[in-house]
C-alpha cells in the first residue's frame, strides 16, 4: 500500500494506554521511534502515540533534537511524516502540526555550517537529499487537500538547500496552478469581480509556467515538469504547445503518478477538441494506473455518456462505488501526492 492505514494510526487503543501508565511522553515517543527504525511499520510504531497530540510530543521532539543522532532524527522525522499523511485527510491543522515538528527533525540532520566542511561531500549530498525529499512529500500531501499556504511554507524550507531542484520548482508551480484553479471569472456576477479574478488567475498560471520552465532548465528530462507545463499551456489555450509538452512528458514518464497525470491532462485536451474517442482512451489509461482516483472515474463516466455508452458509464461508476478503497483514498484523487518520494524515504531508512 502506498499510504499507511489512517485508522491504524489515529485510533486510540485503551489497552495500550493502560499498559504504560507510568511512562512519560518522552519515553513513549522514543520507544515508538525505536520501533519504527527496527520494523519500518509506521502504523504499529505510532499506535502508542495515538493519545498524544503534537503539543504533548514537543518535549520528546526537543529531547531527540538535543541528542542529535542522525539516524534517530531521520527515523523520527519519517514517523512524523507518516502520521501527518494519515491525519491530514481528517484534520488539516493536525497534519500540519506533525509536519512542522518533522521538518525541524529532518533539518537537524544537516550539520551546522561551522562543522559542515568536515563532512564528506557524498554524506552532505545524502543529507540534503533526505531533507529535500521529506519536505517535498509533506508539501505534496498538503497540496492534495488544497492547503496551498502550508504546502508553500514547507517548500520554502527546502529551497535554500536545493535552489535548483527540478522537483521542488515543479511543486511550487503546482501550488500556483492550484491557486489559479479557484479563481474562475464565471463565479462572479460583477464586471469588476470577473476582471479581477481573470487577472489573478492569469498571473498565477504565469507563475506556474515560469516555475515549470525553471525546473526544465535545471533538468530538461524531468517528466513531471513537462507534463504540468503542458497542462498550463492547455489552460492558456496554446493547444499545439500543450500537446507537444504532454507527449514529451508522457514519453519520459516512468513513475505511475507521472503517467497518470499525462493521461488525464491529454484526455482533457482531446476532450476540448471534441476528440471523444481519444479522450476516452486517455482517461481509461489514467483509471487503469490509478483506479482509486475519483477524477479519473468522473472523466471516464462523462466521456462514456457523451459517446452514448450509458451501460459502460454505469459499469464504471458501480465498480468504483463498490470497491474497497484505501483509507487514504483522498491521496489518489488529483495525482499531487509524491508517492515515489515517500517510497524512497522508506527504503533509505531501511538501508
**Which residue shows C-alpha cell 468504483?**
320
**Residue 326 pLDDT grade (very low, low, confident, very high; cuts 50, 70, 90):** low
Is residue 174 within 8 A of residue 228, CB to CB? The reply is yes
Above 70 in pLDDT, residue 314? yes
Above 80 in pLDDT, residue 10? no
How far is Cα 221 from Cα 160, in angstroms, rounded to an integer?
23
Which has more confidence, 39 or 92?
Answer: 39
In a domain, 30, yes or no: yes
Range of weakest confidence among 88-92, 97-101, 189-193? 88-92
Looking at the structure, do residues 124 and 70 belong to the same domain, yes or no?
Answer: yes
SS3 letters across the chain: CCCCCHHHHHCCCHHHHHCCCCCCHHHHHHHHHHHHHHHCCHHHHHHHHCCCCHHHHHHHHHHHHHHCCHHHHHHHHHHHHHHHHHHHCCCHHHHHHHHHHHHHHHHCCCCCCCCHHHCCHHHHHHHHHHHHHHHHHHHHHHHHCCCHHHHHHHHHHHCCCCCCCHHHHHHHHHHHHHHHHCCCHHHCCCHHHHHHHHHHHHHHHHHHHHHHHHHHHHCCCCHHHHHHHHHHHHHCCCHHHHHHHHHHHHHHCCCHHHHHHHHHHHHHHHHHCCCHHHHHHHHHHHHHHCCCCHHHHHHHHHHHHHCCCHHHHHHHHHHHHHCCCCCCHHHHCCCCCCHHHHHHHHHHHHC
In the numeric block, which cell numbers belong to residue 171?
511543486
In a domain, 1, yes or no: no
Q: What is the pLDDT of residue 325?
A: 64
Q: What is the pLDDT of residue 329?
A: 58
In a domain, 72, yes or no: yes
Q: What is the pLDDT of residue 36?
A: 94
Last residue of a domain, one of 245, 275, 302: 245
In a domain, 34, yes or no: yes
Above 70 in pLDDT, residue 327? no
Q: What is the mean pLDDT of residues 149-170?
A: 94
Looking at the structure, do residues 229 and 96 belong to the same domain, yes or no?
Answer: no
Which pLDDT tens digit goes with each residue over 14-56?
A: 334 334 455 788 899 999 999 999 999 999 999 988 888 888 8
Which has more confidence, 97 or 6?
Answer: 97
How far is Cα 216 from Cα 229, in angstroms, rounded to an integer?
10
How far is Cα 89 from Cα 291, in angstroms, rounded to an integer?
19
**Residue 346 pLDDT grade (very low, low, confident, very high; cuts 50, 70, 90):** very high
Above 90 in pLDDT, residue 184? no
Which has more confidence, 76 or 5?
Answer: 76
Is residue 36 within 8 A of residue 47, CB to CB? The reply is no
Q: What is the mean pLDDT of residues 300-308?
A: 96
Q: What is the mean pLDDT of residues 240-256?
A: 97
Work out how many domains the chain is built from and give that number.
2
Which has more confidence, 126 or 335?
Answer: 126
Looking at the structure, do residues 341 and 299 belong to the same domain, yes or no?
Answer: yes
In a domain, 294, yes or no: yes
Q: What is the mean pLDDT of the chain?
A: 88
Looking at the structure, do residues 27 and 113 belong to the same domain, yes or no?
Answer: yes
Looking at the structure, do residues 80 and 148 belong to the same domain, yes or no?
Answer: yes
Looking at the structure, do residues 259 and 286 belong to the same domain, yes or no?
Answer: yes
In the numeric block, which cell numbers belong to residue 101?
515538528
Looking at the structure, do residues 228 and 306 belong to the same domain, yes or no?
Answer: no
Looking at the structure, do residues 218 and 300 belong to the same domain, yes or no?
Answer: no
Q: What is the pLDDT of residue 323?
A: 72
Looking at the structure, do residues 228 and 335 belong to the same domain, yes or no?
Answer: no
Last residue of a domain, one of 188, 216, 245: 245
Domain coverage including residue 118: 6-161+246-350
Looking at the structure, do residues 272 and 329 belong to the same domain, yes or no?
Answer: yes
* Top-confidence range, 12-21, 140-149, 330-339: 140-149
Which pairs count as long-range contacts for 268-271, CB under 8 Å and 24+ apart, including other chains? 268/231, 268/234, 268/299, 269/230, 269/234, 269/239, 269/242, 269/243, 271/299, 271/303
Looking at the structure, do residues 92 and 202 belong to the same domain, yes or no?
Answer: no
- Count of residues for the chain? 351
Is residue 296 within 8 A of residue 286, CB to CB? The reply is yes
Is residue 50 within 8 A of residue 12, CB to CB? The reply is yes
Above 60 in pLDDT, residue 316? yes
**Residue 81 pLDDT grade (very low, low, confident, very high; cuts 50, 70, 90):** very high
Q: What is the mean pLDDT of residues 328-345?
A: 82
Looking at the structure, do residues 264 and 251 belong to the same domain, yes or no?
Answer: yes
Is residue 138 within 8 A of residue 154, CB to CB? The reply is yes
Is residue 101 within 8 A of residue 58, CB to CB? The reply is yes
Above 70 in pLDDT, residue 7? no
Range of weakest confidence among 6-20, 108-122, 291-305? 6-20
Q: What is the pLDDT of residue 74?
A: 96
Amino acid at each position: 500500500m502506498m499510504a499507511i492505514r489512517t485508522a491504524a494510526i489515529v485510533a486510540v487503543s485503551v489497552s495500550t494506554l493502560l499498559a504504560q501508565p507510568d511512562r512519560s511522553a518522552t519515553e513513549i515517543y522514543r520507544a515508538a521511534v525505536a520501533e519504527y527504525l527496527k520494523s519500518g511499520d509506521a502504523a504499529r510504531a505510532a499506535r502508542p502515540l495515538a493519545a498524544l497530540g503534537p503539543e504533548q510530543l514537543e518535549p520528546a521532539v526537543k529531547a531527540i533534537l538535543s541528542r542529535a543522532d542522525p539516524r534517530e532524527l531521520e527515523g523520527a522525522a519519517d514517523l512524523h511524516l507518516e502520521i501527518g499523511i494519515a491525519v491530514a485527510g481528517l484534520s488539516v491543522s493536525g497534519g500540519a502540526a506533525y509536519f512542522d515538528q518533522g521538518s525541524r527533525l529532518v533539518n537537524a540532520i544537516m550539520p551546522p555550517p561551522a562543522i559542515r566542511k568536515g563532512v564528506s561531500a557524498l554524506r552532505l549530498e545524502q543529507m540534503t537529499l533526505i531533507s529535500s525529499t521529506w519536505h517535498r512529500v509533506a508539501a505534496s500531501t498538503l497540496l492534495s487537500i488544497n492547503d496551498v499556504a502550508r504546502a508553500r511554507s514547507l517548500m520554502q524550507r527546502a529551497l535554500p538547500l536545493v535552489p535548483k531542484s527540478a522537483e521542488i520548482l515543479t511543486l511550487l508551480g503546482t501550488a500556483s496552478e492550484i491557486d489559479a484553479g479557484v479563481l474562475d471569472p464565471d463565479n462572479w456576477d460583477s464586471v469588476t469581480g470577473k476582471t479581477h479574478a481573470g487577472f489573478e488567475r492569469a498571473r498565477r498560471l504565469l507563475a506556474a509556467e515560469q516555475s515549470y520552465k525553471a525546473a526544465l532548465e535545471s533538468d530538461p528530462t524531468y517528466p513531471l515538469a513537462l507534463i504540468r507545463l503542458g497542462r498550463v499551456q492547455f489552460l492558456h489555450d496554446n493547444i499545439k504547445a500543450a500537446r507537444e509538452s504532454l507527449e514529451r512528458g508522457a514519453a519520459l514518464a516512468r513513475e505511475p503518478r507521472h503517467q497518470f497525470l499525462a493521461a488525464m491532462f491529454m484526455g482533457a485536451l482531446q476532450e476540448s477538441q471534441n476528440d471523444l474517442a481519444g479522450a476516452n482512451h486517455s482517461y481509461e489509461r489514467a483509471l487503469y494506473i490509478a483506479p482509486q482516483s475519483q477524477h479519473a472515474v468522473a472523466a471516464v463516466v462523462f466521456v462514456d455518456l457523451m459517446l452514448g455508452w450509458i451501460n459502460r458509464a454505469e459499469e464504471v461508476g458501480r465498480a468504483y462505488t463498490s470497491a474497497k478503497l484505501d483509507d487514504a483514498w483522498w491521496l489518489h484523487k488529483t495525482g499531487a501526492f509524491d508517492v515515489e518520494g515517500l517510497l524512497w524515504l522508506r527504503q533509505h531508512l531501511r538501508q
